[in-house]
Amino acid sequence: MRFNAKDLALLAKRPSGCFDKEGKLKICRVVGDEKLIEPRERWCRLKGNLLFLMKNKKNFYNRIAACAVTVILLNAQMSSEASEVVILERCWVVEFRSKTDVSIILKFQSGEPDLYLEAASKPDCEAWAVALGEANSEGLRNKIQQLQRLIMEIKEERAADEARQFLPSSQVDSLREPQFTSIQRIANEPKLEFSLACKGLVAATRDRKLNTFIQVSVVHPAEHILTRYSSTEIVEGTRDPLFLTGVTFPPEYPIYEETKIKLTVYDVKDKSQGTVRTSVLPDHKEPRADVGRSFLGYTTFRVGDLVKSKEQQLTLTLRTSDGGKTVGTIEVNLVKMGEFEDGEMDHITTDAQDQKCALVHECTAPEGLSGKDNLPSLNAVLKNPICKLYRFPTSDNKWMRIREQMAETTLSFHVPKELINLHIKEDMRRNQELKDLGELAPHWDNMRKSVIAHCDQMLSMYQDTLAELGKHTGSSFKSSCSKGEKTLEFIPINLHLQRMHVHSPRLKDALYDVITVGAPAAHFQGFKNGGLRKLLSKFEAERRNTGYQCIYYSPENTAKAKEVLSNINHLQPLISSHADLLLNSASQHSPDSLKNSLKMLSEKTELFVHAFKDQLVRSALLALYTARPGCVLKKPAVPRNSAEEGGDLKHQDHPSQIKRQDSIPHHSEYDEEEWDRVWANVGKSLNCVIAMVDRLLEKDNSSKIKEGESDPSAADCKVLHAGGDWYEQLYPLVITLKDCMGEVVTRAKQSMAFVLLQELACGLPQCLMLTLRRDIVFSQALAGLVCGFIIKLHTSLHDQGFLQQLHTVGLLVQYEGLLSTYSEEAGMLEDMAVGISDLQKVMFKVIEAKSEDFLPIITGRREHYVIEVQLPAKMFELLPQEIKEGKLLRMYPVLFNVGINEQQTLAERFGDTTLQENINQENLELLKEYYNLFTEKMPPDCLPHFQEQNDLKGLLENLHQNIQAKRRKNVEIMWLAATICRKLNGVRFTCCKSAKDRTSMSVTLEQCSILRDEHQLHKDFFIRALDCMRRRQQRQNRWTRVHCSICHTILLFFLRAGHCLRSLGP
């Protein structure tokens, strides 16, 4: 670039009062996250958009840097004091928000290395960030426009005050205690919705084609304060813009008939501000629609005038700010989702088809989702919705209306907290079981102490995490910038419900839900060594080679040991309770109650005995016996047939030959009959109880017949006396049963705890760290699953076919992954694959709510969880009898991943995509398994009619072929899997790294494709509808939607996706 070195040198030497800001900063250049050199102290002087970097106040170099061009001064004799000068154009400031960080980074659009600046204190850092941010020409324009808006608002407030001066005192007093007229609308529906269109807009020059949008503001009648509410999209190239984005006021919004709505029309001169951006903004900056715009005109209307108008339409005149000149008209049409607009749309198609939607500005709503599903139980799960309204033309020139809603969920924090609480209880029980192993030989005892010490540390960490989550207030979701925070590592990233409600002229209303969430992964722990899939495989291989230090048990056996311990903890108190009920029935001499109590006792005891039938208990008892100090082994006798020992309880069948694991020491003198005797005594004791009850009931029946014939009063006395006899005769047998059961429990608990001791000891501390990582990933995945299940249940309560499928087959849960197989995202994909696979051990149960708290209840342990979903009584009555009786509902999670970003390009060309191919192949088999189960158990007419366009079997075959083809970025896999999921009444998830860019692009493409394929969206409006739905949310840290130009790779991906969608369409 050209510059005047002498002038710059003279400017740098000017007195301090001539500069906007100056002071000491530590400065260096940064590429990515790496500093090229250590930061050096410089004296910095800011003048306009020039930042002078001085080595000190006296001696300097002669170098000038300007954005993308760095020029070295050749005149060495020049007495310039400037070391470097930075021109602050086409750049932005990134300020770190932490309380301790005192550094900022200056990023250049040209790609030049970033400039790192470190201040002495946080206030100084913030002052420099503000000064640098306002130094360029864009900052100056923003200041001017802000002052212009402020002037307009002051004028409006003065006009309102002047109007109040002419009001009678009685009216002024009535304003102080307002009584406004509410808008009568359907319960749980938005209070007010309307669409907008302009005609005959006047441009500043004749030849200019306008690029317009409407800003909607609300004047509250009680306060007379103007509040910005929302804006439409930008429509380009026409003076008669038809806006596809409407305005919606949710049920809780304080709007009345007296409320005034102000509509301001702007012409966006810099089209890049709304469409394809030529400048790059940092992540924390929002694109501004008011940059490079000019005011055209405004108008106002009362809400009551719109609501009470006969045609439910207002045609208003747009005027300039001074109120003199007319610049066009604006039409406001009241919208009701259940009604259709009169007439066809022929009169607007010719002009509107060339219009391009650039940017959508949405409105936010208070708590509570609008819509038919706005019920207390659903409101307990969803909150802070963002609502938008669209109208799109159909292929037969009718209008369809779309209400799009996105909501957070309270389950983002509720489910992880419940899960961590269960982990703490489970780990405390395990630690106590290890302590209760009794006396062990020195080698095993030292091993136990080491394991307990590590487990206590992990337990303390879980407790600290739960305490920190308990302190959390504010947002009910975790934003992507917090994914590396340790205290929030159990919380899913950006978990939201994305709902599209479609009202078509000739089709039934339809709801389409997609759960969006960041990939479940342990971001805080990092991915340097890969993710769970690789780490678990490596750990299992290392565990097999632990040598003599501990005994190797396979993962299946350790899982079985945990299951046995869980059954013990569950069944022992139940058996004791039923035994007490049996004695209580005997004391009351109640034959019917005695029979019922005996039946329950028998069933639970049989389950109890069956839990110890596995050979693992025997082998673990042998291993534990050898670990005792100074053990004495007996030579076993020939094993007795367990059928003689009262098994089944009458039909237990144990093998006569015992097979031990090779790594467990064999002792020929160990007496295995001892365990057989102890175990069989439970069955024998129960048989004695059963025989005694039968005998007592038989005697009671015969005595009643005899005594009743002779003297009824004498029979009553006999009954009272016999009641005492029943209790006295059953009591010793029940006590014996409890004692035998207690002895079995003690031995079985110790043996299974010994198995767990081996698992932990073989891999300390890796074993516990892997358990922690798996818990973190599972917690994130489970929160999303619970949210998806509850939403699906609420929306399908009147669908008897779905409810039958739910309890007969189970629920299909399909995850669409958009992660690459390169670098860290490969580790995230490995975590995600394991976390989603672990969801197979989750079962759901629907119960009737007994209070106003409708949040789900989680029970179980790491290998098996039950989620109890609570429904109000009226909704619970709609369920089939099988579900109301507590039948457990199975989940079938499947994951299909296709990397689509530039990192996936690197993986395909220079890396490895085997991980993605294996995951897709494995989950295809799971999907086929669910489909086969579905076709076997469900009638053929259970699917909705509009979903029968394609044969499911053909779609599965097509999916199989695409997975086998191993093509690069084969997005047809995603579309086919999503289509199959919808046809099978499944729950859809879309995930990428943070559930932002890639996720939102995929969801909006899917929504527009559904509108085209299922609801006859006009083919000429497909791209415009897609552009309308792709926008950046106004809320900070909410789901970010961006335009295609942000990532060229993503643009190519969606062009390919659009092509394949058209090929699959009807």
| Catalytic residue positions, numbered | 992
Would you say 125 and 136 are in contact if contact means Cβ atoms under 8 Å apart? Answer: no
Report which secondary-structure segment, H or E, holds 387: strand 382-393
Work out the angle at residue 1011's Cα, subtended by the Cα atoms of residues 1006 and 1015, and round it to the nearest 5 degrees: 145
Q: 300: which strand partners?
A: 262
Contact 1035, 364 (CB under 8 A): yes
Q: Report cis status (omega within 30 of 0) of the bond before 893.
A: no
* Cβ pair 690, 598 in contact under 8 A: yes
Q: How many CB atoms lie within 10 A of CB 131?
A: 17
Residue 262 has a CB neighbour count (10 Å cut-off) of: 18
Query: Burial of 318 by CB count in 10 Å (0-12 exposed, 13-18 middle, 19+ buried)?
Result: buried
For residue 1024, give the amino acid letter: R
Alpha helices of 762-901 — where are they, by DSSP H? Answer: 766-795, 800-808, 824-838, 873-876, 881-884
Q: Closest Cα to residue 372, out of 182, 183, 190, 192?
A: 190
3-state secondary structure 486-554: HHHCCCCECCEEEEEEEECCCCCCEEEEEEECCCCCCCCCCCCCCCHHHHHHHHHHHHCCCHHHCCCCC
Nearest to 26, CA basis, from 109, 117, 130: 117
Checking 42-46 for CB contacts under 8 A at 24+ apart, the result is 42/83, 44/117, 44/128, 45/12, 45/19, 45/21, 46/19, 46/20, 46/21, 46/22, 46/131, 46/132, 46/135
Q: Using alpha carbons, select from 992, 1002, 922 the residue that is nearest to residue 521.
A: 992
Residue 496 in contact with residue 1052, Cβ under 8 Å? no
The pairing of strands 399-409 and 226-231 is unpaired
Query: What's the CA angle centered on 960, arms 956 and 962, to 5 degrees?
Result: 115
Other C-beta atoms closer than 10 Å to the C-beta of 984 total 22
3-state DSSP helix/strand/coil percent for the chain, to nearest 5?
45, 20, 35
In sequence order, the 6+-apart residues with CB closer than 8 A to the CB of 256 are 180, 181, 182, 183, 221, 303, 304
CB 1042 within 8 A of CB 531: no
Identify the CA nearest to 832 among candidates 517, 577, 363: 517
Apex 838 CA angle, 832 and 844, nearest 5: 120
Query: Nearest to residue 958, comparing CAs of 1001, 929, 997, 927?
Result: 927
Residue 310 CA neighbour count, 13 Å, CB half: 0
Integer Cα distance of 1041 and 1038 in angstroms: 9
Per-residue CA distances from 682 to 167, 604, 613 (Å):
92, 12, 13
